[in-house]
Structure 1
Amino acid sequence: MSLIEKMYTFFILSSVIIGIVIGQVSLIQSNAEFFIVPILVVMLYFTFLQIPLAEIKRAFKNTKFTYTSVIINFVWIPVLAWILASVFLGNTPALYIGFIMLMVTPCTDWYLIFTGLARGNVSLSTAILPLNLILQVLLLPFYLLIFGGMTEFIKLSFLVESILFVLFLPLALAIVTKRVSRLSNIIVSKFSVLPIILLNFAIMAMFASQGHLLISNIDLIWKITIPILLFFVVNFFVGQMAGKLMKFSYPDRTSLSLTTLARNSPVALAIAMTAFPDQPLIALTLVIGPLLELPILAIITQVLLFLNKGRR
């Protein structure tokens, strides 16, 4: 794990602060938004390039783990996210949509780091990763229409165009690159932290252009904290109970917990910035999410290690 990966939360927070500071310059504030989407498209291209899509068949070899994680991630969690959003954020549509987007997209990167730290089955978690990516890309529009259709923010045509451009374009380019060039292997080995760096530049640009909204709506941090904490607490117990019910070993149960807990804020953020350009509070919600999520995952990792130690 590189230094940048270890200090992920610190760099995100630093990017937020830098963005707000440089956004005080009117020239930067008025032009920063034009850099956001291009940076995110490039970021997702390098992200997809690092994901072993050709190994998606491996996920189906452990059928019990695969269908258990898929049911939790793509059936149970969307319902839980909708319930929490309705109860705590129903009167704030932007936060409601942002919360839904964050919670229905399983993580495809840093959960592997926490799985390794908690002594989980990293190979199993890696095998399920491509399937999680494909399913979230395909299902995100449906979740937004089902759970967000009652708000005035959801416009089907614009949502489809945004997903095609921001998700499918870099995904298609990554697949083509993998098939026609060995350059992808060099990029993966030499520039594995590039997506994290690009994400931080995108966050800087976003806060440079819209940071004043966060300052004027600072209370939204506290408003979204409660449903995020409840999401992780409830889902932790659901993952552990499901693992016990399926009689998974500790490493497999740990992989299940972290696969169904960690969320994929970069993908959700990319969609939010393009599908809802006139609702920056949605994107701000998706930036605040990982600031809370990463410390929570660090704590959960220690809890898992403690539980395993108690069974020895």
Structure 2
Amino acid sequence: MTMTDTMPDPQPQPEPGLAGFGATALLAGAIALGAVVGLLSPELGRRLSAGTDPTLLLLVALLFFEVRLRAVVAGFANLRFMAIAWGANFLIVPVIGFGIASLFLSGQPLLFAGLLIYFISPCTDWFLGFTRMAKGDTALGAALIPINMVSQLLLYPVWLWLFARHTGVADLAAIPDVLLQWFLIPFVAAQALHFALSRLLPEGAFARISDWVGFAIPLVTAVLIVQIFAGNIGTVADNLAAFAVILVAIFLFFVATFLMGEGLARMFRLPYPQQALLAMTTAARNAPLMLAVTAVAIPDQPLILAAIVIGMLVEFPHLTALKQLLLARVRRKGALA
């Protein structure tokens, strides 16, 4: 047993109220609402689409407020696992994602870029709730959140340069400034606010604020999706056949990352709580943050954003099924013990 198996969870996570098929229904409803608004009233759709900046800023603020930097301390208790998870998420998974995106969408640069961006960014929020439900190591998982967040923001232009510069969809030279102004500075501001409120407010009041932030993130994400589809439904509708291909590519990506995680868990003889955590962190993707980053870094490209949203639709049912698979493993081992 490792130290992290006995440590208290530094960031308690209730089972997500909008997880699994509930979140999928919310996102599908947002797509449908945006599409209906855009088709019935193109002018209203354009107005909604033009107002995405405030929604983006709110989403970024909520995501960054949730990050607990102090949780990184727990990671020092198991640097071995942290290195395995970081290498899987930021070295192996991007190569898998590039291979699958190239196989299916090499001739469609916008959709290729969107799918690649979805693939390369590990989740920094709801994966921990699924890890808890699968009886995984949430103390160690909480330490991954800030590391994953900072790593993917810093590596975002690197991955685009390595894997997508041939598409010509982004001004790579401008992306570092965009990340600094829209994300790294807000990250520092949100963390400063988090620190101040945690010190000034009673523990119960601050906990209620944290719960509200966690509940608000999928709702704000849904609002952003409505705005994206309301203003761009015509462009999206012209490429419906390609989205079916994207669904197949995402399914194969989830299979490949699961097999990768299984192989790493066996190679390094990880205990079950860490196996479950590795499975969840390499399966869940950070679509809300990538929607925000990409909408700012690569503006006026709705197909890229739509590809990211399609990934979100598949992800929640996949995480729910993965949770059940892992729990079945636990029950089977218990029966054999």
Which piece of structure 1 moves more, 163-172 or 245-254? 163-172
Kept in 2, the 8 Å contact 1:64–1:246? The answer is no
Query: 1:196 Cα shift?
Result: 1.4
1:13 counterpart = 2:28: yes
**Within 2, Cα distance between the matches of 1:191 and 1:230?**
33
Kept in 2, the 8 Å contact 1:15–1:204? The answer is yes
Over the matched positions of the two proteins, sequence identity in percent amounts to 29
Which piece of structure 1 moves more, 157-166 or 19-28? 157-166
1:22 match: 37
- Mark the CA change 1:26 to 1:99 in structure 2 (over 3 Å): closer, same or farther: closer
Q: Which amino acid aligns with 1:68?
A: I
1:212 match: 234
Q: Which amino acid aligns with 2:98?
A: W
Q: Which amino acid aligns with 1:149?
A: R
Which piece of structure 1 moves more, 189-198 or 286-295? 189-198
User: How far does the alpha carbon of each residue in 1:7-66 deviate from its partner, in whole angstroms, 9 at most, with x for none?
Assistant: 111111111111111123132122122221221221121121111113223222211210
How many residue pairs align between the two structures?
A: 312
Q: Which amino acid aligns with 1:132?
A: N
**Within 2, Cα distance between the matches of 1:4 and 1:82?**
30
Q: Which amino acid aligns with 2:236?
A: L
Query: 1:151 Cα shift?
Result: 1.4
- The TM-score normalised by the length of structure 2 is 0.88
1:88 counterpart = 2:104: yes
Query: 1:307 Cα shift?
Result: 2.3
User: How far does the alpha carbon of each residue in 1:71-90 deviate from its partner, in whole angstroms, 9 at most, with x for none?
Assistant: 10000011111111111111
1:274 match: 296
**Within 2, Cα distance between the matches of 1:283 and 1:34?**
15
Kept in 2, the 8 Å contact 1:120–1:255? The answer is yes
Listed as ranges, the matches of 1:1-312 within 5 Å are 1=15, 3-5=17-19, 7-23=22-38, 24-181=40-197, 182=200, 185=206, 186-312=208-334
What stretches of structure 1 of length at least 5 have no aligned partner?
A: none
Could you list the structure 1 runs, at least 4 aligned residues long, displaced by more than 3 angstroms after superposition: 1-6, 179-184
SS in structure 2 of the partner of residue 193 of structure 1: helix
2:6 match: none
- Mark the CA change 1:170 to 1:123 in structure 2 (over 3 Å): closer, same or farther: same
Kept in 2, the 8 Å contact 1:39–1:202? The answer is yes
**Within 1, Cα distance between the matches of 2:213 and 2:146?**
20
Kept in 2, the 8 Å contact 1:44–1:195? The answer is no
Kept in 2, the 8 Å contact 1:42–1:170? The answer is no
**Within 2, Cα distance between the matches of 1:255 and 1:226?**
25
Query: 1:5 Cα shift?
Result: 4.0
Q: Which amino acid aligns with 1:252?
A: Q
Query: 1:2 Cα shift?
Result: 5.2
SS in structure 2 of the partner of residue 311 of structure 1: helix
Q: Which amino acid aligns with 1:134?
A: V
Query: 1:297 Cα shift?
Result: 1.4
Kept in 2, the 8 Å contact 1:41–1:167? The answer is no
Kept in 2, the 8 Å contact 1:162–1:274? The answer is yes
Q: Which amino acid aligns with 2:188?
A: A
Q: Which amino acid aligns with 1:81?
A: G
Query: 1:178 Cα shift?
Result: 2.4
**Within 1, Cα distance between the matches of 2:214 and 2:51?**
22
What stretches of structure 2 of length at least 5 have no aligned partner?
A: 1-14
Which piece of structure 1 moves more, 188-197 or 143-152? 188-197
